[in-house]
A and B are shown apart, each in its own frame.
Chain A
């Protein structure tokens, strides 16, 4: 018999599942990849075969133009891989289609969370706590300073800025996959019915969300408008467009950004953000530690983020843990 868990091996380019000869979220092109979600630090094109939720596959097709070798797996569904490995896709609550992957082999259970959060999100089903032996978790916001406020507070900030500046518009920087649609859906839930204007880079992903049944209300492209029409409106663009030439086509915008990093004042200043909105699609410190407590694995492996601090917490609470040195897992999405 081989030693426990020798069938699963962290590699700088992803997590390798030996008996099935497949990879989870590999950062290089491989023959067979199991992908947790569509963000660029987890998903990429060029794999021979990609196993993911139908939503993630659709997102990958749109973003990375991957068409061949797609194997869809729904939430709660199990797929049998070669070598006696079972993979089950479980909601991770991060973005549309995001999943944790539960791997089972020889009676041993390993969960790769991908990115996740524990807060409610109108664009995807909530994280499901699943018992396992090894929990492979992210730690993007793995520092005790990160305690994301309730999203309702941040929506109230945004709407009140809008109301008190009827002659301006509020330009919200938000990642094109996930954050943008969540912000729109939360605005709708807060009763905001006006047209929301989009940067061109946002359009296709919003349409894709709508195709999967997520109602985003009335949307229009900035490119189709004249400046004056957007007074008193919300405009959503990718963070990179906040300070570039593109934003000059707007009338005296209030620069906002929806990101977990907005918790730190200097981060907001670096991007010249006037209205920081602390909205994150990742687990904050309390969610990370609570998840480890609730899943209560024998061992916790940490893929990316502030792994040192989460390791320290595990040490303080007498939990076995190790940090994996993954490459290419950047905080593209926060």
Chain B
């Protein structure tokens, strides 16, 4: 655990991506199995210990530290795990030997909700402050040290001089501590992944921004406002399995059982998962029996581990296909997009029509007419356009010049800052999460502000400092970490769409709100009213 803790600390203090990669690669080369595999899983957020949550740490600490001193310390440090590692009372006398990563992991896995308050402290007592920090970060599965799963895989590839695409591909078929992966990387056999329902890394797009493309070279299709998924069917006979993966490669099959049932031919398909709805248009399509509902309807189904019959019948899912990576054992990824598209179109009739359709190609002779089509679309299920180079192979990640996304312009509204909350991580010493509202009538006639959304992005570091100062100087009420402010600061808020919502007092919920501009100059009573926002609901 000491080496792992030292690695974590060094990663915390290292800004550059290359230096981080070198640190992790070094660790992976010099640490034996299975410690390095568990460490890699921890770094890439691949571990989940059901008995240890942030609340577990709070309970554990409140038995040992005065609750008020704990809260003051926690607020100042900004991180529960770090605060606990600093405040942990050193055991009297001799400290037992520190556990290795694998031992710590196995002890954490064995902890139950009923035993964790007895067992976690015993583990804490065996570690020094850095070790305790690493342990708690690992145990709560929230490292937040600037190491993404992708970075971990790149570091792995760098450590053993193997291709990162191969690492990505094998990764999803294997489980921690990844012994087969290390064995392969150090010159052994490739893992047997033939008949496994593996996730293949998505091909992603760059934002189009100022680029203009020639429509002779690029095809355009709608970018749907659902969630990007990959459907995989693999295996033979009773071993055959279908999985639905999210963009990050998470297995979300349990959330969408109807899609698992819908694919029974070996294939790897890329598409947008949507739910059927009546009130949103969703672009009629010869196969569709009704359009796609808004993202809001889809949201009701996300994050559920089990799905009720009612939900399945009210908001059934379907996938609007974009691409095919494999069909019946044949890897299509090296083929040009036009060829894959032809294969996909030919394959489509073999899939159940109520579960699959295909994202239509937009007929646009030149870029200007495409821009016009994009401008005129009012369909709420459309997030924008995708431009795909007609000869592009299907490659993992973002490659310059192959695919572009061209989002619709955001909507804008002027809101008034109402509440501010401290951020987390790097921003823990700033009030960086803002709740803002619109007037429910004429403010000069005594109308009130109703909260319409929350945002914590869209401003620069310098602006953050200014807003933070504004919040501190204009606090009228404190509720724990939240400050209520004087209602005087106007934000121009950008958002992608707005929907009716029963969860909010204003009856409205915004999608992707972010601070577009800070209107220091604008008086609060000139901010927009709820009715203006309502008028922006598109259907």
User: Which of B15, B69, B86, B428 sits near A266, CB closer than 8 Å?
Assistant: B428
Query: A145 and B86: CB pair below 8 A?
Result: yes
User: Which of B13, B77, B429 sits near A145, CB closer than 8 Å?
Assistant: B77
User: Which of A268, A272, A308 sits near B72, CB closer than 8 Å?
Assistant: A308
Does A227 belong to the interface (CB within 8 Å)?
A: no
Residues of chain A within 8 A (CB-CB) of B12 are: 265, 268-269
**Nearest Cβ on chain B to A323's Cβ, whole angstroms:** 13
Complex CA–CA separation, A270 to B426 (angstroms): 7
Complex CA–CA separation, A270 to B86 (angstroms): 19
Per-residue 0/1 for B9-21: is the Cβ within 8 Å of any A Cβ (1 yes, 0 no)?
1001111000000
Interface residues of B in 66-82 (CB under 8 A from A): 66, 68-69, 72-73, 76-79, 82
In the complex with contacts A145-B87, A269-B426, A274-B14, A312-B79 CB distance below 8 A: no
Complex CA–CA separation, A284 to B138 (angstroms): 29
**Nearest Cβ on chain B to A67's Cβ, whole angstroms:** 36
**Nearest Cβ on chain A to B248's Cβ, whole angstroms:** 25
In the complex with contacts A269-B12, A276-B13, A145-B426 CB distance below 8 A: no
In the complex with contacts A144-B87, A145-B86, A309-B72 CB distance below 8 A: yes
Does B83 belong to the interface (CB within 8 Å)?
A: yes
Query: B83 and A145: CB pair below 8 A?
Result: yes
Residues of chain B within 8 A (CB-CB) of A265 are: 9, 12-13, 79, 82, 133
Residues of chain B within 8 A (CB-CB) of A283 are: none
Does A143 belong to the interface (CB within 8 Å)?
A: yes
Does B425 belong to the interface (CB within 8 Å)?
A: yes
Does A1 belong to the interface (CB within 8 Å)?
A: no
- Interface size in chain A (residues, C-beta < 8 A): 23
Does B536 belong to the interface (CB within 8 Å)?
A: no
Complex CA–CA separation, A88 to B66 (angstroms): 37
- Interface size in chain B (residues, C-beta < 8 A): 24
Per-residue 0/1 for B429-441: is the Cβ within 8 Å of any A Cβ (1 yes, 0 no)?
1000000000000
Query: A143 and B72: CB pair below 8 A?
Result: yes
Residues of chain B within 8 A (CB-CB) of A268 are: 12-13
In the complex with contacts A144-B65, A144-B87, A312-B68, A266-B73 CB distance below 8 A: no
Query: B426 and A306: CB pair below 8 A?
Result: no
Query: A263 and B86: CB pair below 8 A?
Result: yes
Does A156 belong to the interface (CB within 8 Å)?
A: no
Per-residue 0/1 for B32-73: is the Cβ within 8 Å of any A Cβ (1 yes, 0 no)?
000000000000000000000000000000000110110011
**Nearest Cβ on chain B to A275's Cβ, whole angstroms:** 7
User: Which of B13, B73, B425, B429 sits near A144, CB closer than 8 Å?
Assistant: B73
Residues of chain A within 8 A (CB-CB) of B428 are: 266
Does A223 belong to the interface (CB within 8 Å)?
A: no
Query: A264 and B13: CB pair below 8 A?
Result: no
Complex CA–CA separation, A274 to B9 (angstroms): 10
Complex CA–CA separation, A312 to B72 (angstroms): 10
Does A7 belong to the interface (CB within 8 Å)?
A: no
In the complex with contacts A143-B76, A266-B425, A272-B15, A309-B82 CB distance below 8 A: no
**Nearest Cβ on chain B to A247's Cβ, whole angstroms:** 14
Listed in ascending order, the chain A residues whose CB lies under 8 Å from chain B are 143-145, 147, 263-270, 272-276, 306, 308-309, 312-313, 316
Q: Top 4 A-B pairs ranked by shortest CB distance?
A: A145-B86, A309-B72, A145-B73, A274-B13
23 contacts between A and B (CB under 8 A): A143-B72, A144-B69, A145-B77, A145-B87, A264-B77, A264-B78, A265-B12, A265-B13, A265-B79, A265-B133, A266-B79, A268-B13, A269-B12, A273-B13, A274-B13, A274-B14, A275-B13, A276-B13, A306-B72, A308-B72, A309-B69, A309-B72, A312-B66
